Amino acid sequence: MPLVQSGISAEERIYNQIDKVVVVKGKTPESRIYWFFHIKDKVLKVNVNRLLTGSDFRKQYIRAFNCPAPYIKRGHWDNIINALHDGNKIEVVGGDANV
């Protein structure tokens, strides 16, 4: 694999890999909320309280795929979250988030 894919940013590479995100909300406002990123045949589970740093996503990614996720510059992870929302890749479901 080439070190840099011409014309595609790291944000775009991650966005393109994500098939969908299922946000599971708890029964009460105090319940934990998790984001489940569906990438290829894997599911990465990230607690919403740690979502915006991207570090938990990167840890889950390397565990699932045995290689690091494309590097996202500090502060740019929220661009991916916004793009997922704008691209209708996010599905929010209720229920018990303690899964």
Q: What is the pTM of this model?
A: 0.84
Give the CA distances from residue 17 to residues 12, 20, 43, 97, in Å, rounded to whole numbers and listed in that order.
9, 9, 12, 24
Residue 46's domain comprises: 10-93
Asked whether residue 4 is assigned to any structural domain, the reply reads no
Please tell me the total count of domains within the chain.
1
- Region 74-82 average pLDDT: 89
User: Quick one: what percent of the chain has pLDDT higher than 70?
Assistant: 89
Asked whether residue 74 is assigned to any structural domain, the reply reads yes
* pLDDT tens-digit readout, 23-35: 998 887 778 899 9
- 27 vs 39: CA distance, rounded Å: 26
Asked whether residue 1 is assigned to any structural domain, the reply reads no
Asked whether residue 48 is assigned to any structural domain, the reply reads yes
Alpha-helical (H) ranges within 18-76 are: 55-65
Asked whether residue 64 is assigned to any structural domain, the reply reads yes
Asked whether residue 68 is assigned to any structural domain, the reply reads yes
